[in-house]
A = this chain, B = another copy of it.
Amino acid sequence: MKKTQANKTQMVDIARIAGVSVSTVSRALAGSSLVNEETRKRITDLARSLRFSANVGAQNLRRGQSQTIAVVLPKSTSDQQPVSDPFFIALLGELADALTSQGYDMLLTRVDEARIDDIEGLASSGRALGIVVIGQWLHHYALTALAGRGVPIAVWGAALPGSNYFIVGSDNRIGGRLATEHLIACGCRKIMFLGDTRLPEVALRFEGYRDALIANGKMVNPGLTAAIPFEAQAARAALDDLFAHTTDFDALFACSDLMAMTANALLSARGVRVPEDIKVVGYDDLALASQVHPTLTSVRQPLAEAARALVEGVLQAKDGNAPTMTVLNTTLVKRESTHTVQTAKKKTSPSATTKKQR
């Protein structure tokens, strides 16, 4: 006995049984027109019945190319959370689907932000033919260096003009404007912007926020800006602190749904009602946004499209094409958290202990 487990069946086994050479097996399974229809049928049937599956290592080696794309999810060193933001997860899911539907395998890697350079190995080792980076954060420089070295990368993030790597993102500026305009239309006068403008995406959303204010003859009030971080715990602390000091606002524009929901929870705990007292708009339009109470008005980014564009981007990058920037449309999804009319209780049911007016 050589191994504990039976050796995997390989092409030579099939060849022997079918009485042909390995070349023919290879060609038959690849669907080459060089092999007789009848023999092909015989071979493919045999392969299926033996549950044969060609060794991809050998294939990649011979072909000089792998069918795998690496997806890296940066994790901040400080943040102990297992997974960053639900939004990234949703994008991840779409990526998984986009990749498998195009016949690529997906290698998922979480890398410490400080070690972002390490991801080059994923490509140079032939493990993956290219890399999708979710979230450029503050690493524009490192990403530029990578791309400069010929590593095929496509990044989800803000469109930074003149960048040397493929970027896919949504129109953050329009997103910010849509949200703000809606709040203005709802009659809000003191709209607070929640987000850390050091991040490129957030900076653009802030510009949209400013655009909307100015277009409506208002000024940007520096007091109505708070650099809330994305990470859940930190966001909660920052918001709690914020609300303890300031209450002079009638609307919140949060740069993520998570942030908006946390804000909602904290306000609610303080007895502030959403949307009656304060209106709230989030960003991302998570699935969860329509599951919470009140359901959350939010800026939607087209995830499936984003995933497709990212895959397309890596492939282009691999082929050495000049980098492009893809900016996807954002849309506003209006829900309860910005309702202006009396909250229309849908058929107040014979519920157990209904307290009128809460």
Contact = CB atoms under 8 A, between A and B. Distances in A.
Contacts of A352: 247-249, 272, 277-278
Contacts of A9: 124
Nearest to A336: B269
B293 A82 contact: no
Interface centre among A124, A292, A352 (most CB of B within 10 A): A352
Interface string A25-63: 000000000000000000000000001111111111100
A339 to B, nearest CB: 12
Contacts of A345: 269, 271
Given A90-B83, A96-B109, A351 B125 contact: no
Of A5, A56, A247, A348, the most chain B CB neighbours within 10 A belong to: A56
A9 to B, nearest CB: 8
A291 B261 contact: yes
Specify how many copies of this chain sit in the oligomer. Answer: 2
B61 A351 contact: no
Q: Interface size class for chain A?
A: 35 or more
A273 interface: yes
A223 interface: no
A236 B291 CA distance: 8
Shortest beta-carbon contacts, A-B, top 4: A247-B352, A82-B93, A265-B293, A83-B93
A26 to B, nearest CB: 14
A162 interface: no
A243 B55 contact: no
A96 B81 contact: no
A356 B356 CA distance: 15
Contact of A291 (B8, B232, B271): B232
A86 interface: yes
Interface of A: 4-6, 8-9, 51-61, 66, 68, 71, 73, 81-83, 86, 89-90, 92-94, 96-97, 100, 105-110, 120-121, 124-127, 149-150, 232, 236, 243-244, 247-249, 258, 261-262, 264-266, 268-273, 277-278, 287-288, 291-295, 303-304, 319-320, 345-346, 348-356, 358
Contact of A107 (B5, B53, B61, B107): B107
Nearest to A52: B124
Nearest to A105: B107
A293 B278 contact: no
Nearest to A55: B126
Most buried by B among A236, A287, A320: A287
Contacts of A81: 287
Nearest to A152: B5
